[in-house]
Chains A and B, each alone.
Chain A
Amino acid sequence: MKQLFSREPFALLAFSVVILAMPLWLTPLGANYPDLLQKFAIFAIFAMGFNILFGLTGYLSFGHAAFLGVGSYAAVWSFKLFTMNVLPAIFFGVAFAGLFGLLIGYISLRRSGIYFSILTLAFAQMCYNLAYSVLTPITNGETGLQLTLQDPRIIDRAFAEAGAGLPETNLFGIDMSGYPGFYFCAVMLIICFFITRRIFNSPFGLMLRGIKSNQNRMGYTGFATRPYTLTAFVISGMFAGLAGSLLAVTDPLAGAERMQWTASGEVVLMTILGGVGTLIGPMLGAWIIKYFENIFSSFNNATLENAFSFLPEGLRTMAVDVSSLFVGEGWHLTLGVLFMLIVIFLPGGLMEGWRRLLRRFSGGGGGKSETAPVVQPAE
């Protein structure tokens, strides 16, 4: 099974099927509405990109949300100035994020460890603060950058007159709201997965892992590590830029709060939760966090009363009181607790938990003995 899975076309095919069928298999979980599905795909891209830097190369960036923000702003500007077609928007989002990545990475990568984290944090906070204050002509400050009726949109105007209302983002005529938007993001996710997989299996990826385990030794063997780390940084920034521009594609609005350091913290969390340095871990982490964010924050006391209705009166009020701490407004508390538990007990994230389970079953013998010999040689 595992050897079959490692074959390129098969892996890609299986992955594509799983992603494109998301509206189907998420239905029983109550998560099959397009808004949430789009977020699943977008944040999976974000976390995957972050993982290339943190998981493979070992640099913990605390300012990755800056690229997300830059991507969003660039995409919205492309909508405003040129056309509502999403392809140029994505191109600009990725390109600008890449440029920012080159600049910030060139400076920040001179230091490693916590110094690197602080430098990236400093740059991201600078972007955030400037977006709120001085750069208001570009970012529209607190209101956030939006489409208006006065936008030039020169390419669109060359072909057709401006319509009455605000136009929708589209891909050659297909509106990018609802399910088409999700499928577009899903295709992007599949492409990103393909790229990430190639990076993981390439000599370049091996080099990055070498840098993670011991940068000095890599230096001694004659590799200049800086170009490798910088490339990883830029790639991961471009992934974030892509995610940011997709956010703008599904909802053409960009605000500075996307760049705040809490947003950077969130992507770190997703990656840790899923499993640092694994291929699909960060994606799983992103899904779980976005899922819980949607589900938990929509709970209120009435739903809790319903859920605990099988308990006797006194116990029920107690259960509702305690659990109401964790849902609705307080879902961040759940997030924090979950986060701590993962870091304390399962530092490798969900993927490590999965491996442990596999090992237990394969070690336990008995009924699973047929699969065990297949799994072990592949390790």
Chain B
Amino acid sequence: MTENDPINQDYQKAVIELLYQLADDDFIHAFRGSEWLGLAPHIEEDVAFSSISQDTMGHTAMFYRLLEELGEGSADHLAQGRSSIERKNCVLVELVNGPGNYMEKPRYDWAFAVVRNYFYTQAKAIKIQSLKNSSYKPLSDAAVKVKMELYFHLLHWKTWFTQLMTSTDEARKRMEEATERVFAELDGVFSQGSYRVKIVDFGLIEDETILRKLWIQELSPIFQSINLTMPESFGMKHGNGRDGEHTGDLEQAIQTLSEVYRLNPAAAW
């Protein structure tokens, strides 16, 4: 099916649902990354991490634009004007970077950042690989563009992950704790929510169980090499974001990221 074919309503609904998941995931993920700016462990990392967050924000813009083309409203409104209940992102990306605020006493947790970024990016890479064969052509085109950049993001976070896991005892302990916290929400990253069957039946992307299996296949050798056990199952401790279940952290994120926009959503900024 191409852009110009008549798309039946059900199909379009499924496309829209999946696009919201992809767009909201990357948007909140890039927002959390942007809060780290200037606070990374060293200056070189600040440059690298902000470059990655910028790429991710670029992917976000691509996904919101696809929604705009499907008549969902302007990309800027979709990004900034929706309440937390309307958001479809997974809970993992919305969790705060650590205690404090990015402007005041940010005691941000680098171990959590590394593990979350690595696991999320690996999951994203697997989804993007699957999306390259999506029946929705605009989405498969977007996937090709995103994939090129993901290679470097993944390499970056994998390097941090293995290095910190195999260094001091303190680093290992912090990394294991962070890994546990991320696993507790990782099912939410793969979840396709209540539209799952349609999303898969229409050939938009492979089923979440397949994606999860591919993720485990990719990460298992890495885990083995650093003597870490892959858990039997993951979790969705704070609920399924695909169905609108979120934490207060998302509300706080939306308040911040839309602070200026909300002064006057109709104005040109």
Bind each other: no
A interface residues with partner B (beta carbon < 8 Å):
none
